[in-house]
Structure 1
């Protein structure tokens, strides 16, 4: 048995005596895993899972991770990391729970299972989840995603020999090819973003403008979620209306916020106002993906209004 596999087994055994869902060969110690990946010149495969409640996580584990075809197929390619978010937290130490919470936030994980492939520094280059087809098909899928790292590194190397907007475009293409969330790009590729800004100070690519717009929208969403958590629909409506009046957003973000306003009005039972708001949202860009969906939203709200009127009439007769 190779020393690295002895290392993996020892690491798992040392993790509070907890049996990880993925079985032997997995660790929940993120920093130790990064150190091993650097030593062995491998990538990390990080499984964000809910081992005792998430049905798709359990299927992925049973159909793929526990199969010999997976274990053999990923050998010498990945250090395996299981980050678990169980309902029964007694199986995890407080230290591990804190680590996992920080990593969930850092990698902007919103659903389970999420599988991230990262380099030894923890910089992600691919993201996936459950895939049908079993272990052998999943290994082939991972092999394709693993090429993202080579493509990324080659693109960064090529960009290092370029200057100006040409360099900026090469770096932007490298980031786009990985298909990562903007928050993750900002967190783990901040240096690359800085290089893009330095190479193209006039922002001829529009990259900086787009990134700033997305950051503003993320701030809007965060504040809106606060109202949602409190169940404060009136507050959410006022906040959304003030945001639209501020003129801080345009294009896709403005249309998204205008659509949210219409949906809040519908939740408040203000169906006529919601219909008008949907029309205003569509007018921002009728041909966009969102613009083409708005008529469907409007029809569903109209059906809700009609059903509400029928229910009210029925109660009056009772």
Structure 2
């Protein structure tokens, strides 16, 4: 005879919804999302180094209330990228590759909302206030942005020429550079045909944006090794290939100025400082360059 306790336990297990399981496998998540007609919630955290991520994990992501409500419309994917310790080489590299694909740098937590094809339609950083139920409601509200994007793409498909190009730019502009280039290549190809001279300057902006992120990664890898000549080479190559203007050119040249200054190449450093200042002496990089130049001049006794 089944005891009253066992009957009660059995009823509880049947009646209570099981919390969703987080996965790290984005491809599997896309398959599930297609089958169940859901979106994907992808969150990048680093719980071994970020207090905000630890708070998000403890307060929200591990909550059964959050998971059970969010899974009604989302497949849940979490990438916990350790910065202080290393996982097995293969797993760690997969995480790094995924973070790079989505343009995730050093800002954690970063959340992406994807359609079943894996295309992001919204991205946000940080931790929202409120408990797990409020957080789940927030996620469900974000789905409206997917509908807005889809309606926008449908409307753009009926347009032509620069009007269509502008409509596509309005839809893609809020998304990170890496996301646009990696997940919206079809729309970028359309823009190349609709606006071959890039009069809207959108394609160049996105390509340069991604190239600059790669440039910064490359500079960081060699700068701390005192490889200042390599930094100068990276700067010259970037400027030669992408011809940046304004603020971006100042930022790139500032890396060269820092490398020359640290390496003791003071005369060339003065010339680079002057070039940065000539672009915009009132900008932060313009002012910093003027200060560095003044210190160099004092070192040279001028």
Q: Which category of TM-score, normalised to the shorter sequence, fits these structures?
A: 0.7 to 0.9
Q: Does the CA-based 8 Å contact 2:43-2:111 persist in structure 1?
A: yes
Secondary structure at the aligned position of 1:128 is classed as: strand
| Per-residue deviation, 1:237 | 2.6
Aligned to 1:35: 31
| 2:277 is aligned with 1:297 | no
Unaligned runs of 5+ in 1: 10-23, 310-318
Q: Please, what TM-score do these two structures have when normalized by structure 2?
A: 0.76
Asked if the contact 2:277/2:289 (under 8 Å) is kept, the reply is: no
1:189 is aligned to 2:184: yes
| Contact 2:222–2:228 (Cα < 8 Å) also in 1 | yes
User: 1:284 aligned to 2:284?
Assistant: no
Q: Match for residue 263 of structure 1?
A: 258
User: For 1:29-68, what aligned pairs fall within 5 Å after superposition?
Assistant: 29-68=25-64
Q: Distance in 2 between matches of 1:159 and 1:249?
A: 30
Aligned-partner Cα distance in 2 for 1:195–1:153: 16
Take 2:238 and 2:81, find their aligned partners in 1: how far apart are those partners? 35
Secondary structure at 1:36 match in 2: helix
Query: Mean Cα displacement is larger for which, 107-116 or 134-143?
Result: 134-143
Question: Counterparts of 2:55 and 2:271 in 1: how far apart (Å)?
Answer: 45
Q: Residues 1-318 of structure 1 correspond to what in structure 2 (within 5 A)?
A: 25-86=21-82, 96-111=91-106, 112-135=108-131, 136-176=133-173, 179-214=174-209, 216-218=211-213, 220-221=215-216, 223-228=218-223, 230-241=225-236, 244=239, 248-268=243-263, 274=269, 277-286=272-281, 292-298=283-289, 301=292
Equivalent-residue separation in structure 2 for 1:47 and 1:237 (angstroms)? 36
8 Å Cα contact 1:115-1:128 kept in structure 2: yes
Q: What is the CA distance between 1:201 and its match in structure 2?
A: 2.9
Question: Scaled by the length of structure 1, what TM-score is found?
Answer: 0.73
Q: 2:78 and 2:122 mapped to 1: Cα distance? A: 16
Q: Distance in 2 between matches of 1:256 and 1:170?
A: 30
**1:251-278 per-position Cα deviation (integer Å, ceiling 9, x unaligned):** 3332222222222234335678656533
Go from structure 1 to structure 2 and tell me whether the alpha carbon gap of 1:241 and 1:127 turns closer, same or farther (over 3 Å shift). same
Alpha-carbon separation, structure 2, partners of 1:139 and 1:274: 53
> Partners in 1 of 2:85 and 2:236 — Cα distance?
41
> Counterparts of 2:207 and 2:126 in 1: how far apart (Å)?
32
Check the 8 A contact 2:254/2:276 in 1, yes or no: yes
Which stretch of structure 1 is more off in the superposition, 113-122 or 66-75?
66-75
Distance in 2 (CA, whole Å) between partners of 1:217 and 1:124 is 21
Q: 1:272 to 1:115 in 2, by over 3 A?
A: same
5+ residue gaps, structure 2 = 1-12
Superposed CA offset, 1:182-213 (max 9, x none): 12211111011011112223433232343444
Deviation of the 1:280 alpha carbon? 2.2
